[in-house]
């Protein structure tokens, strides 16, 4: 089975594709559709709390005909955050959980989980700690609550979960670790919380296949015109699976987005 996950940074920008970057986003979305993944998870949809417009819905339906579609928008702040999953298979059930996260995090549309016969598929858009780390403590509470939630799923059946997790786990996962030790996404706390998630019984699929290969990144800062050219990036998007199905990982990777900066889609293929 083929799984793809992507922080799209606005479905509307992709559908409208009126700018050069929007055009590249649309091209990437079209490429993903051509691959016909079994499950496609999207983060940062930025949809209004009423969901997609008619134009957006028609565009997605044309690209992904015969897919089941599930979306969740932020009710705390319209047009912010948001997640979506498209699936070729109809799930047994769909959950839009509240995990007991602090502040408005549970109202920001950050998690969707599909239940299938033999496993769960979940996607997450993890809160960012902020440029001055103003949300770091809340982020730590989120990480604890999220880990407990994923463990509760794993107690029932294996889990395949993905998303923009807003953390580069090890120094190998970003170009400039020394100068980013106190940056959001690479603080000791965030990295330790991710380690705790793995220790709870989960496998980082890309590192499972590529344990020591450097310069594999999924995000390049838009603020720097040369970040993509120089491959000065971060790996902050992940596919994780329950340890007991790690031996069924067939392929992992990052889908090329050419000159487009920001997030790139990630790929997981499982032998099911």
Residues annotated as part of the active site: 125, 164, 263
Angle CA 132–193–105, to nearest 5: 60
Token digits for 21? Answer: 């970057």
Q: Is 44 annotated as a binding-site member?
A: yes
H/E segment holding residue 267: strand 266-270
Q: Which residues contact 52 (CB under 8 A, 6 or more apart)?
A: 11, 60, 71
Q: Is 164 annotated as a binding-site member?
A: yes
Q: Is 144 annotated as a binding-site member?
A: no
Q: Residues 90-95: contacts with CB within 8 Å, 24+ apart? A: 91/115, 91/116, 91/121, 92/116, 92/117, 94/70
Residue 166 contacts residue 250 (beta carbons within 8 Å)? no
Q: Is 101 left (phi over 0), alpha (psi -120 to 50) or beta?
A: beta
> How far is the C-alpha of 37 from the C-alpha of 258, rounded, in Å?
20
Q: Is 263 annotated as a binding-site member?
A: yes
- How do strand 237-242 and strand 202-204 relate by DSSP bridges? antiparallel
Q: Which residue ranges are tagged as binding site?
A: 7, 44, 164, 166, 262-263
Q: Which residue ranges are tagged as binding site for Mg(2+)?
A: 7, 44, 164, 166, 262-263
């Amino acid at each position: 089975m083929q799984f793809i996950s992507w922080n799209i940074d606005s479905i509307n920008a992709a559908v409208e594709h009126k700018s050069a970057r929007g055009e590249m986003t649309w091209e990437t979305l079209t490429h993903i559709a051509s691959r016909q993944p079994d499950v496609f998870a999207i983060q940062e949809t930025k949809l209004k709390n009423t969901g997609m417009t008619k134009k957006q819905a028609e565009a997605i339906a044309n690209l992904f005909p015969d897919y089941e579609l599930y979306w969740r928008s932020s009710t705390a702040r319209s047009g912010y955050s948001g997640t979506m999953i498209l699936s070729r298979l109809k799930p047994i059930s769909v959950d839009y959980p509240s995990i007991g996260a602090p502040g408005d995090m549970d109202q920001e549309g950050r998690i969707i989980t599909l239940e299938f016969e033999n496993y769960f598929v979940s996607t997450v858009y993890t809160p960012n700690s902020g440029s001055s780390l103003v949300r770091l403590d809340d982020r730590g509470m989120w990480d604890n609550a999220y880990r407990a939630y994923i463990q509760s799923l794993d107690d029932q059946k294996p889990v395949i979960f993905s998303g923009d997790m807003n953390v580069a786990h090890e120094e190998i996962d970003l170009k400039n670790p020394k100068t980013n030790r106190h940056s959001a996404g690479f603080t000791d706390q965030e990295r330790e919380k991710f380690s705790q998630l793995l220790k709870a019984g989960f496998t980082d699929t890309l590192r499972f296949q590529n344990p020591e290969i450097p310069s594999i990144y999924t995000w390049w800062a838009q603020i720097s015109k040369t970040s993509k050219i120089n491959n000065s990036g971060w790996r902050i998007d992940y596919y994780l699976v329950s340890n007991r199905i790690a031996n069924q990982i067939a392929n992992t990777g990052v889908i090329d987005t050419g000159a487009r900066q920001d997030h790139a889609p990630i790929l997981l293929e499982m032998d099911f």
